[in-house]
Structures are given as C-alpha cells and as structure tokens.
C-alpha cells in the first residue's frame, strides 16, 4: 500500500513536470508581439477616426447595424501587427483592425459602436453569408471560388507569398533558393500549396498555427516560413533583430473586405471609403504605424476593383 501510494505520487510529479515544461514552451511560442507595439510611443502615431454623420445607405446589412446601434466586424486575433487581440487586455491592434475601424468611421459608427468577433479562416464564408458579421477584415484574399459565396470590397492591400528566415541566414534569398530546405506553413494554406510544387524542391512542414512555424524557425528546426508577406512582416516586426523577410512575393493575394454577396450598396460604400482614405493619407499612416514597423517600405495599394 505504501509503495503504491509513492508510485502514484511519483506519477503525478512526472506528469506535473511535463505539463509545466510544456507550458513554458508554449508561452515563448511568439504569439505575443514583442518589439515596438502598434500605438506605443516609439511607433509612428496611428490616425484617429471621426465617425461620419448622417450616413444613409440603402443596404440591408447597414440598416440592420444602424437599428441595433452596433457594427459587428469579423477579424482575426492571432496575427501580430495585422489582426491581434491581447488576451489579457482584450484590446485589438494591427493593420486589418485599423482598416476596419476606418471603414466603420466612414459608415458613421464610432469606435465604441464596434463589436469585434474573432472568425477563423475556415468559417469566414459561413460567418459572412449567415450574417453573423456585418463585414470581415482579416487577410482575406479575393478569389473566384470565394466570390461565389461572399462579396469583396477592395482590394486594400496587395500581399503575396514570401519567405521569413532567420536574420543572417544568407542561404535563402527567395523562392529559387529553397531547394532542399525545410519550409514551414500552416495546413491548408495557399502558399503551402504553391511551395509544395516540385519545381521549388523544398521539403515542407505543415503545422496548425503560424506561431508554431515561427517557433520552429527560431529553434532551427525549419529554415524558412512561407505565407503572405503581410503576416510575415508582422512576425518579423514582433521578433525584430532575429527574423527577416526576404525575396520578392511569388503569388498574388489581393486582400479585400468580405461582406454579404448581394449587398452592392455596402460594397460600394466600403470601396469608396478605402479609396478616399488612400488619397488623404490616412491609409499610409495606418501602414506606417503597423506593418511598416517591420522595416518594409510603404507601397501604394492596388486600384479598387469594382465588379
């Protein structure tokens, strides 16, 4: 009986040890952005948005939002400098978040009237078409298959698949030098399908989260991480001094604001907001205060696509 008891105690101790060891590991996985935070004093100031008055649109989604007095915006919560939610303060920050706020202001909603909803990549079409969100801003690439289910305003940013490597690793300069290298991306993503093609000759590691890939990159288990350059810029900015983005983007991923497929009026209103804010410089300020912190230069966004 005594022995049995001590065996149980030992087992529990081992279990506790592995559990805590793993907890520590996860904590350092790089989910939280370090370095310069958007909106902090060292970063270029983010613009403030004044809600437009007397907006009236003949759009069912807009009317519903007006009636409930709240705008429900879908976003991501796990992409530093793009769409990120600080789990302790519940504050959202990043490029996509700022774009969403800017559009909301132009539609006549103040920041307090925004209700954020985290929507994962896999269920974006469902969330939008079922009306669970009024519009969605979160690294959402416009493509034809998606256009069958949702509408897109924009594009407001032109991303492309790129490579993130450890700073000082000169062996990878772009997509042509990944032969025999280990490249990580997340399961099911389009950049992953691209880099899997035999012409690149890379060996591919597929993980569930980008932060897992970044972790493996930092511990040298993989040599590069590939996905949209905007996401990589976010991680480069969060791990400044350790990681950098190399090469030229090798796919075309225009980001749009996802919204109800048939709501042409709202689509036009959001497109117009994006167009106006690029012209008056607000857009550039947003970029410099978020993604620009990775050191990547500002470029003008692509022309709005009105289909």
Partner 1 sequence: MNVLLDNFPAFRDGFIGTVSITAVSSVIALVLGVAIAGFRVSPVPPLRYFGTAWVTLMRNTPLTLLFLIFFFVVPEILFPGMSPFVLGSLALGFYTSSFVCEAVRSGINTVPLGQAEAARSIGMTFAQTLRIVVLPQATRTVIPPLSSIFIALTKNSAIAGAFSNAELFGWQKLMSDKGYDIIPVFIWVALGYLVVTFTISGLFRLLERRMEVAR
Name which of 185 and 294 has its Cβ closer to partner 1: 185
Calculate the dihedral angle through the C-alpha atoms of 195, 196, 198, 204, rounding to the nearest 10 degrees: 100
Name which of 148 and 197 has its Cβ closer to partner 1: 148
Instruction: Report the C-alpha gap between 118 and 221 in whole angstroms.
Output: 30
Compute the residue count for the chain. 307
Q: Does 148 bind partner 1 (CB under 8 A)?
A: yes
Out of 85, 96, 98, 125, the residue judged to bind partner 1 by CB under 8 A:
125
CB of 207 to partner 1, least distance (A): 6
Site for partner 1 in 201-220 (CB under 8 A): 204-208, 212, 215-216, 219
Q: Which helix (H) or strand (E) holds 225?
A: strand 224-228
Out of 145, 199, 297, 300, the residue judged to bind partner 1 by CB under 8 A:
145
Place of tokens 């109800």: 260
Name which of 77 and 205 has its Cβ closer to partner 1: 205
3-state secondary structure of 117: strand
Q: Does 45 bind partner 1 (CB under 8 A)?
A: no
Out of 167, 221, 295, 298, the residue judged to bind partner 1 by CB under 8 A:
221
Q: Does 10 bind partner 1 (CB under 8 A)?
A: yes
- Strand order through the sheet with 71-75: 114-118, 71-75, 135-136, 253-259, 151-159
Name which of 11 and 45 has its Cβ closer to partner 1: 11
Start-end of H helices in the chain = 2-27, 60-68, 95-106, 124-129, 144-147, 190-195, 210-218, 229-238, 264-279, 282-289
The number of CA neighbours under 13 Å toward the Cβ of 204 is 19
Calculate the dihedral angle through the C-alpha atoms of 233, 42, 94, 108, rounding to the nearest 10 degrees: -140
Interface segment toward partner 1; rule CB under 8 A; list 8-16, 49-57, 59-67, 228-236: 8-16
Residue 214's contacts (CB-CB under 8 Å, 6 or more residues apart) are 29, 30, 164, 225, 235, 239, 243
CB of 287 to partner 1, least distance (A): 25
Q: Does 1 bind partner 1 (CB under 8 A)?
A: no
Out of 27, 193, 248, 306, the residue judged to bind partner 1 by CB under 8 A:
193
Q: Does 118 bind partner 1 (CB under 8 A)?
A: no
Residues forming contacts to partner 1 in the complex (CB under 8 A) are 3, 7-8, 10-12, 14-15, 18-19, 21-22, 25-26, 121-123, 125-126, 143, 145-146, 148-149, 187-190, 193, 204-208, 212, 215-216, 219, 221
């Amino acid at each position: 009986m005594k022995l049995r008891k001590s065996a149980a105690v030992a087992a529990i101790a081992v279990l506790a040890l592995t559990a805590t060891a793993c907890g520590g590991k996860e904590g350092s996985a790089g989910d939280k952005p370090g370095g310069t935070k958007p909106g902090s004093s060292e970063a270029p100031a983010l613009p403030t948005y004044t809600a437009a008055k007397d907006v009236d649109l003949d759009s069912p989604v807009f009317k519903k939002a007006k009636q409930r007095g709240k705008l429900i915006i879908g976003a991501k919560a796990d992409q530093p400098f793009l769409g990120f939610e600080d789990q302790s303060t519940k504050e959202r920050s990043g490029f996509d978040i700022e774009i969403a706020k800017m559009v909301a202001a132009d539609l006549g909603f103040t920041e307090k009237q925004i209700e954020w909803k985290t929507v994962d990549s896999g269920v974006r079409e469902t969330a939008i078409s079922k009306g669970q969100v009024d519009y969605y801003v979160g690294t959402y690439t416009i493509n034809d298959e998606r256009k069958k289910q949702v509408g897109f305003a924009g594009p407001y940013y032109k991303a492309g698949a790129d490579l993130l490597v450890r700073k000082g690793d000169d062996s990878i300069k772009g997509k042509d030098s990944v032969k025999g290298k280990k490249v990580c991306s997340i399961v099911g993503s389009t950049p992953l399908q691209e880099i899997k093609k035999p012409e690149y000759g890379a060996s591919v590691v597929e993980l569930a989260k980008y932060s897992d890939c970044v972790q493996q990159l930092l511990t040298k288990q993989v040599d590069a991480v590939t996905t949209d350059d905007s996401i990589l810029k976010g991680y480069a900015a969060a791990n400044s001094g350790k990681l950098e983005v190399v090469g030229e983007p090798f796919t075309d991923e225009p980001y749009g604001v996802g919204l109800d497929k048939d709501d042409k009026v709202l689509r036009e209103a959001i497109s117009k907001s994006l167009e106006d804010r690029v012209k008056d410089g607000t857009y550039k300020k947003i970029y410099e205060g978020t993604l620009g912190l990775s050191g990547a230069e500002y470029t003008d966004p692509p022309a709005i696509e009105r289909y």
